[in-house]
A and B are shown apart, each in its own frame.
Chain A
């Protein structure tokens, strides 16, 4: 059974940093692209970043480029999102999602999400 368990969310001040983790199990982690998607309170889904499952290519939304860094540790079956220079508008539930292929074309499994609140 595929499981994705996010952690690392919490309250952080504007300008601060946070690292999210997503522990994966139930599939061959290294073979698949992984993605972070966020959802601000009462809003729609917003893609944040993806990392491929073949060559570790990374992709970022313009809204986070230069501030966030996605990475993966295939030996630990874990996906990360390092978030720096956080802003109030980064407040959201952050979901980890697995793709059905080495490229992040669609997402067949999602975690339960972790809440990030950026506020002073």
Chain B
């Protein structure tokens, strides 16, 4: 079965750029999306189809996908961006989630 790998944690200073990676075999051939989940809340879609932002998502969130790695980039990271982030793809009639990355803003 297809697998997506994420680093368990990423730290960033306020105002700096955070990058969260998601790795999978030939992931660049699939569409990837990203979800943000804050404690006690439901997930929120922040990026879909590799690099598209839903309405209401700040421009500081961006995405890319090439080769075996997709990346979620948060520019000018704010304290409110501290959350868990999950990548997700569709493969062989199966939805696949990455294990999640805890973003700490300190």
Contacts and interface: CB of A to CB of B under 8 A. Distances in A.
Given A106-B88, A108-B48, A46 B43 contact: no
A59 B93 contact: yes
Interface string A11-45: 00000000000000000000000010100000011
Given A44-B86, A45-B86, A105 B97 contact: no
B29 interface: no
Interface residues of B, number: 24
A62 B49 CA distance: 25
Interface string B25-39: 000000101010100
Nearest to B33: A106
Interface string A99-113: 010011111101111
A59 B95 contact: yes
Contacts of A105: 31, 33, 90
A102 to B, nearest CB: 13
B94 A47 contact: yes
Contacts of A47: 94-97
11 contacts: A37-B43, A44-B84, A44-B99, A45-B43, A45-B97, A61-B94, A95-B43, A104-B95, A106-B31, A107-B43, A110-B44
